[in-house]
């Protein structure tokens, strides 16, 4: 049975004091049984937050990792470094990395390999631009991202991956894909996984929705059979909202 997951992507937000306060508030909250709660703070807060979360069931992830294992890559952070301090998840292929930092599918595939080699669980992001949806190319775009970024993996390694569908036109805009639009794409993704691997693997793959998902719309989104949770942006920066989303299943 696939996991129900709510993962918070803090992006480049919070001071260290604010990060500590946010974690403490989340820790005080009641987390529903059977829900995997993940926080993904900026790199510089990962190690101290790992220590703060040791006594809780909350997991810690990073927002990115290098495609390289080690070497002369100033400013980069290797997956193995993250794993060595207790990080267990890492977001890879987020649309902001794809667009602002020009990360192609080839680079994203290498990052996936590094994450799995270092025993991190990748949260692989995919999704289309507004122009691509308006041109009715959204299925082909997502299919290509999956084929280039994930489908080189063996069955054993693919089982370690979480997929997050994030329509780019809904990220940080306040516009959310309708629950039917989300379900349609999630079902499409699961069908692709089934065709490339097996029905059993597809059925056990958690697929999250991201893109202006908040406490008001999460319940409707999560009610869809192929939506297994959310990758949450702005709403993850408020403990009450983040926990309310976790109670939306």
Q: Is 100 exposed, middle or buried (0-12, 13-18, 19+ CB in 10 A)?
A: exposed
Domain CATH code at residue 15? 3.20.20.70
Residue pointed to by tokens 């992507």: 9
138 part of the active site: no
Per DSSP, 235 falls in state: G
pLDDT at 173: 81
Number of structural domains the chain divides into: 1
94 part of the active site: yes
63's CB contacts (< 8 A; 6+ apart) are 9, 10, 11, 40, 41, 42, 43, 90, 91, 94
Please tell me which residue in 94, 96, 132, 138 is annotated as part of the active site. Answer: 94
Distance CA 168, CA 95 (A): 7
pLDDT at 176: 77
The one-digit pLDDT tens for each residue of the chain (249 residues) are 899 999 999 999 999 999 999 999 999 999 999 999 999 999 999 999 999 999 899 999 999 999 999 999 999 999 999 999 999 999 999 999 999 999 999 999 999 999 999 999 999 999 999 899 999 999 999 999 999 999 999 999 999 999 999 999 888 787 878 999 999 999 999 999 999 999 999 999 999 999 889 999 999 999 999 999 999 999 999 999 999 999 999
Could you tell me if 237 and 10 are in contact, meaning their C-beta atoms sit under 8 angstroms apart? yes
Please tell me the pTM assigned to this model. Answer: 0.97
pLDDT at 174: 78
Distance CA 164, CA 167 (A): 10
Please tell me which residue in 36, 128, 132, 166 is annotated as part of the active site. Answer: 166
Could you tell me if 65 and 88 are in contact, meaning their C-beta atoms sit under 8 angstroms apart? no
Structural domain for 216, as ranges:
4-246
What's phi and psi for 11, nearest 5 deg?
55, -145
């Amino acid at each position: 049975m696939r996991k129900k997951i709510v993962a918070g992507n803090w992006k480049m937000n919070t001071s260290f004091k604010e990060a500590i306060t946010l974690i403490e508030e989340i820790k005080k909250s009641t987390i529903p049984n059977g829900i995997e709660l993940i926080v993904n703070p900026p790199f510089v807060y990962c190690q101290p937050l790992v220590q703060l979360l040791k006594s809780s069931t909350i997991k810690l992830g990073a927002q990115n990792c290098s495609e390289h294992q080690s070497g002369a890559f100033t400013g980069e952070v290797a997956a193995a470094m993250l794993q060595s301090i207790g990080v267990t998840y890492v977001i890879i292929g987020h649309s902001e990395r794809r667009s602002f930092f020009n990360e192609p599918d080839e680079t994203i595939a290498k990052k996936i390999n590094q994450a799995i080699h270092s025993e991190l669980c990748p949260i692989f992001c995919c999704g289309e631009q507004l122009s691509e949806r308006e041109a009715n190319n959204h299925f082909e775009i997502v299919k290509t991202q999956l084929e280039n970024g994930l489908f080189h993996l063996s069955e054993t390694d693919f089982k370690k991956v979480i997929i997050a569908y994030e329509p780019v036109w809904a990220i940080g805009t306040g516009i959310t894909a309708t629950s039917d639009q989300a379900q349609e794409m999630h079902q499409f993704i699961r069908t692709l996984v089934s065709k490339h691997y097996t029905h059993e693997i597809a059925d056990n793959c958690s697929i999250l929705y991201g893109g202006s998902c908040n406490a008001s719309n999460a319940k409707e989104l999560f009610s869809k059979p192929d939506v297994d949770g959310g990758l949450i942006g702005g709403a993850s920066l408020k403990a009450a909202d983040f926990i309310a989303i976790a109670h939306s299943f």
